[in-house]
Amino acid sequence: MRQTFKAVRNAKKVNTFANSFVGLLVLLSTAGASPSAASTAAKCNPSDWCQQHGHAPDACNCGVCGSFGGCTFSCTPGDGRVACPGSAPPPPPTPSSRVALDGADKLAVCLDGSAAAMYVSPGSNPKGMYIYHQGGGWCQTPEECAQRALTPLGSSASYAPTKDLRATQTHVFMTRDPAVNFMSDWTFVWLPYCDGGSFAGDSSRNSSSSSSGGKLQFRGKRIREAAIATLKATVGFGAITDLVVGGCSAGGAAAYMHADWYAAQAPAGAKVRAMPDSGWFVDGDYARDGKPDYGARMAEMYGMIGANASLSAACVAALGHRCLFAPSLVGGGYVSTPLFALNSRYDASMASGQYGAEAPGTTMAYSCTSYSGHPCDAASVNTFGAYVAAAMKKALMAPPNGAFLDSCYRHCSINCAEYDITIGGVRAAQAAAAWYRGENSSGAFYDGFAPYPCANCCN
């Protein structure tokens, strides 16, 4: 039975969450960026660390060293800014270079018409490649997209010539440390998100925005196609034997949507897998990103950007715009590429609303209005977590799929800066490696259930 959310129109709640979402977009576009520990030691604050990890500021265990945003410190009375004795240095950067995509397709452009690009970090093993889609929500109306075109989530005007891929979302899979990342010697490709529609659209629309020359470009499909054409011409995509497709938030949704497309582009016989992070978005009418009627907004975006051109034809014929959502796309059996989902059962991007219960005629309220997790109605969040877990287990429990379903109140690496979550003593990256190598013959669904709020589920 399809679960439907009813929009929450309480202006106070919506405004509160809208303010939170503005902060989210900033975090998503700069996620993981961290100066060296030496240069930032003076900025470290144990109260910040405690709060990020679900503790009250005064509950920090001052006998234990912690790390946050590249800073290390010990919680010493009166001064929490002293580096921990013997603490490990921050991991080395993963340098990459910007590669323009307009040489492969002049319509591989951002919302404002500027040329799209990707960042590439060649590895010592040219046979493996990891392609990652940046996240950052969606723009669902022409007005929203015109505003977005003025930002790095809609324009390439401010893209730097180089980028440290360790300073990105889900950065644990962008490290060159083989003890951490099973893909450490592969070529890394990071696709900046500037089309506003999870790399799915192929259309344009007139706009009153002067920055876009009077026209908004929804060219996510062209960006993907130009990226693959350029990778074939420059770093040997046509000869790879291993490909993993990832992304977080709207980029995680993109990994679900386009996994089969990437598999079709890879050489015959290549091993192709997808590892979406925080991309299990629920269809229906509810409040998210400070916007009510979310399901209706996604339906409008679907038509505006021409998303049907990128989605499974069978899914589109059966479900239309609902194919934008992983529960419908994956749950309906429309993705054949093996998937390993990284997700929280209490995804911090979901806002307040009501959703239909399994029993007809009843509804359950979900109340949580901030990415910081405060204030949240714990009972409603736990009930919603059970609903998400049940749907993911139904879709991903059986091999060759799997999941790492944690109980950290997070979204991507927000509220989990170091991405060091464990389930049963196994870290997310270790679980992904075991799944990829086929070491979980009996299944690879890691269920880290703990009731919300959980003080130590984020590290």
Residue with tokens 């450490």: 184
413 and 396 assigned to the same domain: yes
How many domains, in total, are found in the chain? 2
Element spanning 276, H or E? strand 271-277
Indicate if 187 and 201 belong to the same structural domain: yes
Whether residues 125 and 241 share a domain: the answer is yes
Residue 345's pLDDT is 93
- Given a cut of 80, is residue 318 above it in pLDDT? yes
- The pLDDT of residue 222 is 98
More confident residue, 30 or 262: 262
Is the pLDDT at 77 greater than 80? The verdict is no
Burial 56-90 (b: 16+ CB within 10 A, else e): eeeebeeeebbbbbbbbbbbeeeebbeebeeeeeb
Q: For residue 87, is it within any domain? A: no
Same domain, yes or no: 41 and 29: no
pLDDT of residue 124: 97
If asked whether residues 140 and 55 sit together in one domain, one would say no
Q: Which two tokens stand for residue 313?
A: 């034809």
* Cis-peptide, bond into residue 453, ω within 30° of zero: yes
What pLDDT does residue 169 have? 83
| pTM exceeds 0.75, yes or no | yes
How much of the chain exceeds pLDDT 70, in percent? 73
Pick the last residue of a domain from 53, 82, 111.
82
Question: 10-14, 129-133, 326-330: which has the minimum mean pLDDT?
Answer: 10-14
Q: Which residues contact 39 (CB under 8 A, 6 or more apart)?
A: none
Q: How remote is the C-alpha of 406 from its chain's centroid?
A: 15
CB burial of 412-450 (b: ≥16 within 10 Å; e: otherwise) equals bbbbbbbbebbbeebbbbbbbbbbbeeebeeebbbbbeb
Q: Can you tell me whether residue 5 is helix, strand or coil?
A: strand
Q: Residues 316, 340: one domain?
A: yes
The whole-number pLDDT of residue 213 equals: 61
- Cβ proximity of 404 and 343 under 8 Å: yes
**Least reliable range by pLDDT among 61-75, 171-185, 418-432:** 61-75
- Residue 293's pLDDT is 75
Judged by average pLDDT, the poorest of 150-154, 271-275, 322-326, 455-459 is 455-459
pLDDT-derived band at 22, boundaries 50, 70, 90: very low
Contact 352, 368 (CB under 8 A): yes
DSSP state of 25: H
**42 and 28 in a common domain:** no
Same domain, 262 and 400: yes
84 vs 402 pLDDT, higher one: 402
Residues 286 and 255 in one domain: yes
Give the rounded distance of the alpha carbon of 207 from its chain centre. Answer: 28
Report the side by side order of strands in the sheet with 353-356.
5-6, 353-356, 363-366
Decide if pLDDT at 357 tops 50. Answer: no
Same domain? For 185 and 77 the reply is no
pLDDT digits (tens, 9 = 90+) for 402-443: 999 999 989 898 878 777 899 999 999 999 999 999 998 777
* Residue 452 placed within a domain: no
Instruction: Centre a 10 Å sphere on the Cβ of residue 15 and count the other Cβ atoms it contains.
Output: 12
Last residue of a domain, one of 50, 82, 114: 82
**C-alpha to C-alpha distance for 200 and 280, rounded to whole angstroms:** 16
Neighbours of 256 (CB within 10 A): 28
Whether the pLDDT of residue 331 is over 70: the answer is yes
Q: What's the sign of the alpha-carbon dihedral 403, 409, 410, 416?
A: negative
Domain boundary among 26, 56, 82: 82
Q: Which structural domain range is residue 228 located in?
A: 5-34+93-447
Q: What is the pLDDT of residue 24?
A: 40
Residues 75 and 201 placed together within one structural domain of the fold: no
Torsion of CA 232, 236, 240, 246, to 10 degrees: -60
Q: Which residues pair with 218 in a beta bridge?
A: 203
Looking at residue 443, its pLDDT comes to 79
Confirm whether 192 is domain-assigned.
yes
- pLDDT value for 171: 87
Torsional class of 293: left (φ above 0), alpha (ψ -120 to 50), beta (otherwise):
left
**What's the pLDDT tens digit per position in 241-298?**
999 999 999 999 999 999 999 999 999 999 999 999 999 987 766 666 667 777 788 9
* pLDDT given for residue 227 in this prediction: 98
pLDDT for residue 15 = 37
Q: Residue 430 is which amino acid?
A: Q
For residue 105, the model assigns a pLDDT of: 98
Name, in order, each residue with C-beta under 8 angstroms of 398's C-beta and a sequence gap of 6 or more.
Answer: 443
Residues 436, 418 within the same domain? yes
Of these ranges, 49-58, 69-78, 306-315, 382-391, the one predicted with the greatest mean pLDDT is: 306-315
